[in-house]
Amino acid sequence: MSRQAKLLQLLNEEIVACRKCPRLVEYRERVALEKRLAYRDWTYWGKPVPGFGDPQAQLLIVGLAPGAHGSNRTGRMFTGDRSGVFLFQALYDAGFANQPTAVSCDDGLRLKNAYIAAAARCAPPDNKPLPSEILNCRGYLEREIDILRPTAVLALGKIGWDVFLGILKHRGAIPARVGYRFAHGAEVDLPEARMRLFGVYHPSQQNTQTGLVTPGMYAKVLRSVRRFLEQDLILNAEHTGKRKKTLAQGRGRR
């Protein structure tokens, strides 16, 4: 197991045991007991949902929060609800997932060069975590950023966008969040953080069913992300090549 994989595993164990937000703890556990009729045979997860994906990922995806009968039931990000149906098909089409479907933790899904996290890890009532709850949860995302050191971040919706920029502001990597306006298809370079931030509208059922978000819109942004990551790999390889050459020349001069 790689160092990143071990660190992420330890972090995820911590996340799963978290009870910092009383309102969310009460809600996630109550939903898990009451259940939706269609899932009455399921044993709901009912705990915080940890991050999921490739520990070596260049791309970090930041969602909002688990769905009450989706991730809060299955225990894996975006797994088991309509948002996930849309998102994983898009990730599969763009080459970031090995299959287009996500129904349970043991369905064989693997992400390739991507890792999914969220602004809040517990299912909130009405899909709306409070600002104080997002703040309580922010440290987990910060640690994921430190472990993964992603080159690109894809924010699924304005809250993920704002939370990520809030972390950068807190760390002094940007002076303020103003000037980084969220929009679907927005892209900003963050040279101090050595990353590029991409934005898309959240793949919620409300957005996808009303046509505010379409597969074509996601495909376009994910193509940009992929192009950016490929360029970054080429630049890194060139940089490493030059560095090796310089070191070899330096050794030759001695």
Q: Which residues bind ligand SF4 (CB under 6 A)?
A: 15, 18-21, 24-25, 48, 120-122, 133, 136-137
DSSP states of 70-107: THHHHSSTTTTSHHHHHHHHHHHHTTSBSSS---STTS
CB closer to ligand SF4 out of 69 and 196: 69
CB closer to ligand SF4 out of 64 and 85: 64
Rg (CA), the chain: 19
Rounded to 10 degrees, what is the CA torsion of 34, 36, 42, 44? -50
Inter-residue contact 69 to 80 (CB < 8 Å) = yes
- Give least dist CB 125 to ligand SF4, A: 12
Inter-residue contact 134 to 21 (CB < 8 Å) = no
Residue 33's identity, in one-letter code, is L
The dihedral through the CA atoms of 159, 162, 165, 170 has a sign that is negative
CB closer to ligand SF4 out of 90 and 120: 120
CB closer to ligand SF4 out of 123 and 174: 123
CB closer to ligand SF4 out of 71 and 89: 71
- Give least dist CB 123 to ligand SF4, A: 9
Give the integer Cα–Cα distance in Å for 172 and 49.
Answer: 29
- Give least dist CB 25 to ligand SF4, A: 6
- Give least dist CB 18 to ligand SF4, A: 3
CB closer to ligand SF4 out of 25 and 173: 25
CB closer to ligand SF4 out of 28 and 69: 28
- Give least dist CB 12 to ligand SF4, A: 11
- Give least dist CB 93 to ligand SF4, A: 31
- Give least dist CB 116 to ligand SF4, A: 15
Give the integer Cα–Cα distance in Å for 83 and 104.
Answer: 14
Inter-residue contact 145 to 62 (CB < 8 Å) = no
Give the integer Cα–Cα distance in Å for 97 and 91.
Answer: 6
| Residue of 50, 85, 90, 89 lying closest to 66 (CA atoms) | 50
